[in-house]
A = this chain, B = another copy of it.
Amino acid sequence: MQLYDLELSGNCYKVRLFAALAQIPLDIVAVDFLAGAHKKPPLIDFNPWGEIPILVDGEVVLRDSQAILVYLAAKYAGESWLPRDAAGLGEVMQWLSTAANEVQNGPASARLVDKFGYALDKADTLKRAARILPLLDAHLARHPWLALARPTIADCAVFPYVALAPEGGVSLADYPHIRQWIARVKALPNFLAMPGV
């Protein structure tokens, strides 16, 4: 099973982190991002969107980090990481949407501007970060983990770009419950770091 990966990508790190925590073996294939390998064959055929991560597991080819988390959890991990009952699935799913939208377009995009020079509207990314982080902090003031009172793929999906927020000029100083949650994630057995986390 291959993960087409970029070490500095938080989206790729979501997958590496979960695979480490759940002890799922992955063949990490480093993508030559600067050369645009993700925009050319064979990767553009795996993912016409020209993005990574991409997971290839035999016949299964998946784009989108959240979808890859769901697949890996459903196929290779216990229900602890992704419940199969409707209420549990729905609760986890809420946070996968948060990762795909609010976190991606907030702190993750602020980092794309500061660290990689992307031509995005920095003010807009900061405004979005300033909306989502207090909501996240308030949630984590009342819950140790994002969903279900235990670590799930919800945490793996949201953690990377929140922990990397300072690299986009977004301070976590005002969010003590987020910082405590980051410490809890880092203390999980088999936790895997990345540069900046």
Chain A positions near chain B (C-beta within 8 angstroms): 48-49, 59-60, 62-64, 66-68, 70-72, 74-75, 84-87, 89-91, 93-94, 96-98, 100-101, 104-105, 121, 124, 135, 138-139
Contacts and interface: CB of A to CB of B under 8 A. Distances in A.
Contacts of A74: 84-86, 89-90
Given A49-B135, A100-B100, A139-B48, A90 B105 contact: no
A66 B87 CA distance: 13
A138 B45 CA distance: 12
A182 B101 CA distance: 24
A75 B91 CA distance: 13
17 contacts: A64-B93, A64-B97, A67-B94, A68-B90, A70-B89, A71-B86, A71-B93, A74-B84, A74-B86, A74-B89, A75-B87, A84-B84, A97-B97, A97-B100, A100-B100, A105-B105, A121-B124
Contacts of A75: 86-87
Given A49-B135, A100-B100, A101-B101, A93 B67 contact: yes
